[in-house]
Structure 1
Amino acid sequence: MGDLSSNCTTSIMHLPDDCLTIIFHALDSRTDRESFGLTCRRWLHIQDFNRRSLQFECSFTVLTRTSLSGKSFDIHTFHLHRLLRRFQHLESLSLCGCRELSDSGLTRLLTYGSNLQKLYLDCCFKVTDYGLSLVASGCPSLTTISLYRCLGVTDKGLETLASACLSLKCVNISYCTQISDKGLKTLTEHCRQLQAVNISHCDSITGIGFGGCSKTLACVEAESCKLTPEGVMGIVSGGGMEYLDVSCLSWSVLGDPLSGIGFSSRLKILNFRLCRTVSDTSVVAIAKGCPLLEEWNLALCNEVRISGWQAVGLYCRNLKRLHVNRCHNLSDGGLLALQDGCRSLTILYLSGCSRLTSIALELFKSHRPDVCIKEEEVMSIKPNWEFR
């Protein structure tokens, strides 16, 4: 009877920490998981110990690209130090929009960053090369880093990071205007598991830093960059490219600079929007050489004429989404070629094509009821890549 009485006083509070951890992970409801730590200090410790991701409210201001002048909660060095001491096993940390965070705020990563795999520092304007050196020293397991608009980061910081974090797969350095091909070259030489790189709006990058990149590199965003033909060849040199955005290119050469460049046969999504000098020569070569192409944005590519459209219709058998907005040399004959070919096409973004007649458009709709015609351009979201 004494033993039975003793057993009756046993409660869940007598369970060891590993059992409580199993219970915590078994909770299906997000609300229940977030409320777990409200029970007592011990349960709060269990919850903190098992937290793997941390994102602050100020992050959402940046992610939705609202005005940076608006008031929002900001993380200072003191706050971050306390939080990293509390959540010591984080695998993902987003500090996007923490404009007051300085390099010293990242020193705690030297102690608590060993498990960190993803780090987002978008619009952390006060972070410089020194802060990136702290990241490099404290986060050897890093696979994803976003430095969008980190204007204080230069080639030196990127080189330090690339030399220490050899497992990097996704790197966003868009709008990092002080980074050039030199820093990019170090990144591609050291990080041989790279899958995705965003260099959009980096005026000092021509693309040659990609030369000799690993075949794992499958995604490059280079919107509004000053790429050279040699730079584009460097981007595709690995042979594994699946998603390429070279929209709004500012070419430093005359004619069609993409002519003669062999694009990856694995290419699935290609954005040429506002590449006004792209000609039939390049379009025909890509249509023939990229049989897996599923989406192609040729909006405002005014040098693409009848032979280019015929090649798209004839060879792009897997093409599902095609953008031809404001292509002034898309005529009735070109639309007919798309109508008779591109048997997998489901969406055609079409507007502002001055040479198209209403009759040709109605015939297309009649013969291809399986194709939805839209005016607004929306590019597909990149699968499995960590850009913001």
Structure 2
Amino acid sequence: MRGHDRINTCLPDELIVEVFRWLDSKTSRDACSLVCKRWLALERLSRSTLRIGATGSPDLVVDLLARRFRNVHTVHIDERLNISLPTHPGRRRGTDIAAVLSVRLHSANGSDDGVLDSNSLSDAGMTAIGDGFPKLEKLSLIWCSHVSSIGLISLADKCKMLKSLDLQGCYVGDQGLAAVGQCCKQLEDLNLRFYEALTAVGTSCSSLEVLALYSFQKFTDKGLRAIGKGCKKLKNLIVSDCYFLSDNALESIATGCKELTHLEVNGCHNIGTLGLESIGKSCPRLTELALLYCQRIGNFALSEVGRGCQFLQSLHLVDCSSIGDEAICNIAKGCRNLKKLHIRRCYEIGNKGVVAVGDYCRSLTGLSLRFCDRVGDQALIAVAKCSSLQYLNVSGCHQIGDTGLIAIARGCPQLSYLDVSVLQNLGDMAMAELGEGCPNLKDIVLSHCRQLTDVGINHLVKSCTMLTSCHMVYCPGITSAGVATVVSSCPNIKKVLVEKCKVSPRTKRRAASVISYLCVDL
């Protein structure tokens, strides 16, 4: 019946709020909030996440938002984001509150509603967060340099349900972190960057499960020993650019944190073989290991991981010059549940290690061997036994040619991503086999493959109709006809990266939205 409001008279508040929570676009949520005062109030109740930028008097903003959005459990404040106050010609300037209410605030649900124009979050703002959001579970403070231990103590005392805390560039001291550890017994995730005090974490945060430490210039083994001694539930540890950590630090983690499942060591140049060896001996539940720019970690360390960590599923190695085939062979033999192996610029790793992976790790779904120039066709022939392989990146492995890729095409029908860029010996025969054997291929990178021609491209796209992206810059054998074939034969194509000179006017008219150019002119 016209004029009869069936929704507002029949549906309870709880159901309308639930509907709002399912709306994932800003436009839809804003439209709903403008229907009536009831919907405006209910839409605010559905907000669970708020994001606040740098300007806009954050202390005042937090106080205002706490009154409007009572069910928020996630708050992100990033003082790197700089948003300008919009101007309204002809409108008289009102109070500070009116100005604040006219500014944008980003919410994770897609809605913007909010605030701007002033300085930095202070301890008073932290108190306002604690008073206004008692249900807070996740708090992220990025470069809020005016926050001190006083503010963190105030918040910890009121937000006892806090589970995740991200402090990047916030120079609070031990007292603040100690208060978080003592009051927030559910704290599981702690991310610290450019932070100087850590001993309090080990002594107070016994429920901690995730710890990420970035760029600790003054952080020594003492801090990580405290973590190993006090944080027995730790499962995920990332240490990046912590230059003064040594093998003793990792040994403390290994002996104290038996539940460890994920470890990433990035650019910690004083950590070597002995530290990782202790992880292999004492952390049998390890499932993910990433070693980036670890020049001092050698073969014996990974051999120990292979012997002791049989549940390892993911191994990521970047610029580890002392790790070679012996380590990879031992990983393959001991960690037969390995699903992802990503190696980049580890020049001592060649066919022998990768062949062992193909022989023993039949559940492999992702393999990346970027710029491992000792890896050739023999390795890919072995990997072809892994029929579940979906992701393959052999960019810059110059010894790989048609033979290896043909084996992959015949043995890995589920392949969906392939990067064979900078392979000078790869030709059209491999493309034809890939087209026949890998119908699920969605993304392919062929750039700098000088032997490929339009003939190979035609064979590839004939059967790979699910292709969504194709990169083929600097392939002199591929012409405008090949580009046109890709565009016309692949109904799902979304991106074709190619030189501008190889796109005909007809192709540009038909598919201008999917064509991307690496260079304007070549």
TM-score by length of 2: 0.60
Shift of 1:27: 5.9
Task: Look up the SS of the partner of 2:334 in the other structure.
Answer: coil
Contact 2:467 2:490 (C-alpha < 8 Å) held by counterparts: no
1:128-139 alignment, distance < 5 Å? 128-139=246-257
The structural deviation recorded for 1:271 is 0.4
Mapped to 2, the partners of 1:40 and 1:301 lie a distance apart of: 56
Matched, 1:204 2:327: no
Letter in 2 for 1:244: L
- Go from structure 1 to structure 2 and tell me whether the alpha carbon gap of 1:39 and 1:233 turns closer, same or farther (over 3 Å shift): closer
Question: What's the CA shift for 1:262?
Answer: 3.6
Deviation at 1:142, TM superposition (A): 0.6
Correspondent of 1:311 among 433, 436, 439 = 433
Q: 2:371 aligns with which of 240, 245, 248?
A: 248
Is 1:298 the equivalent of 2:434? no
Deviations 1:302-353 (A, max 9, x none): 2111211100111111111111112111101001111212122121122111
Whether 1:49 and 2:185 are equivalent positions in the alignment is: yes
* Aligned match of 2:298: 180
1:29 corresponds to which of 69, 73, 77:
73
Aligned to 1:327: 449
* Closer/same/farther in 2, CA of residues 29 and 212 from structure 1, 3 Å limit: same
Contact 2:287-2:314 within 8 A present in 1 as well: yes
Aligned ranges 1:147-226 → 2 under 5 Å:
147-206=265-324, 207-226=328-347
Distance in 1 (CA, whole Å) between partners of 2:492 and 2:332 is 41
Q: Does the 8 Å contact 1:321/1:345 carry over to 2?
A: yes
CA distance in 1, matches of 2:497, 2:488: 18
Hey, what's the Cα distance between the residues in 2 that align with 1:360 and 1:199?
A: 36
Tell me if the contact between 2:290 and 2:317 (Cα under 8 Å) persists in the aligned partners.
yes
Structure 2 residue aligned with 1:239, among 351, 359, 362?
A: 362
What SS does the corresponding residue of 1:192 show, helix, strand or coil?
A: coil
Taking the aligned partners of 1:248 and 1:160, their CA distance within structure 2 comes to 30
Q: In structure 1, how many angstroms separate the alpha carbons of the residues matched to 2:422 and 2:495?
A: 17
Structure 2 CA distance for aligned equivalents of residues 160 and 305 of structure 1: 46
Per-residue CA deviations over 1:172-193 (Å, capped at 9, x if unaligned) read: 1121111222211110111011
Aligned to 1:277: 399
Whose strand fraction is larger, Structure 1's or Structure 2's?
2
Shift of 1:110: 3.6
Contact 1:273 1:300 in 2 (8 A): yes
Percent of residue pairs identical: 23
- Decide whether aligned partners of structure 1 residues 258 and 215 sit closer, same or farther in structure 2, where only a CA change above 3 A counts: closer
1:28 Cα offset (Å): 4.7
Q: Which of residues 240, 261, 265 is equivalent to 2:387? A: 265
**Secondary structure in structure 2 of the residue aligned to 1:189:** helix
Secondary structure at the residue paired with 1:222? Answer: strand
How far residue 221 of structure 1 moved from its aligned partner, in angstroms, is 1.1
Residues 352 and 82 of structure 1: CA distance in aligned 2, closer, same or farther (over 3 Å): same
Opposite residue 49 of structure 1, the aligned amino acid is K
1:29 to partner: Cα distance: 2.1
Residues 157 and 183 in structure 2, CA contact (< 8 A), matched pair in contact too: no
Point out the more displaced range, 228-237 or 161-170. Answer: 228-237
Return the offset for 1:243: 1.0
Q: Does the residue aligned with 2:279 lie in a helix, a strand or coil? A: helix
Deviation of residue 208 (structure 1)? 2.7
Partner of 2:35: none
What residue in structure 2 maps to residue 84 of structure 1? 202
Give the SS at the match of 2:263: strand
Q: Residues of 2 paired with 1:40 and 1:316: CA distance?
A: 54
> What is the rounded CA distance, in whole Å, between the counterparts of 1:229 and 1:238 in structure 2?
15
- SS state of the match for residue 244, structure 1? strand
**Cα distance in structure 1, aligned partners of 2:366 and 2:300:** 23
Q: Which residue identity is paired with 1:247?
A: R
Deviation, 1:277, is: 1.9
Counterpart-to-counterpart distance in 2, 1:181 and 1:36: 44
Superposition RMSD on alpha carbons, in Å?
Answer: 2.3
Q: Which runs of 5+ in 2 are unaligned?
A: 1-69, 76-132, 140-150, 161-178, 499-522
**3-state SS in 2 of match to 1:156:** helix
C-alpha change, 1:74 and 1:109, in structure 2 (3 Å) is closer
- 1:54-108 Cα shifts (integer Å, max 9, x gaps): 111x2xxxxxxxxxxxxxx332xxx211233332211111112213211112121
1:114 maps onto 2:232 in alignment: yes
Deviation at 1:374, TM superposition (A): 2.9
Q: Give the number of the structure whose alpha-carbon radius of gyration is greater.
A: 2
- Report the CA distance between 1:143 and its aligned residue: 0.6
Deviations 1:6-36 (A, max 9, x none): xxxxxxxxxxxxxxxxxxxx96522421599
Q: Distance in 1 between matches of 2:222 and 2:445?
A: 47
Q: Deviations over 1:243-288 (max 9, x none)?
A: 111011131x8x6453642431111101011112211110000011
- Structure 2 Cα separation of the partners of residues 309 and 319 of structure 1: 12
- CA distance change for structure 1 residues 219 and 126 in 2, over 3 Å: closer, same or farther? same
1:261 is paired with a residue of what secondary structure? helix
> Gapped runs of 5+ residues in structure 1?
1-25, 59-72, 377-388
Work out which structure has the larger RCO, using CA pairs closer than 8 Å and 6 or more positions apart in sequence.
1
TM-score (norm 1): 0.79
Structure-1 separation of matches of 2:481 and 2:361: 45
Is the alpha carbon distance of 1:179 and 1:82 closer, same or farther for their aligned partners in structure 2, counting shifts above 3 Å?
A: same
Which residue type is aligned with residue 492 of structure 2?
Answer: D
Q: State the aligned residue count.
A: 331
- Could you tell me whether the CA contact under 8 Å between 1:48 and 1:86 is conserved in 2? no
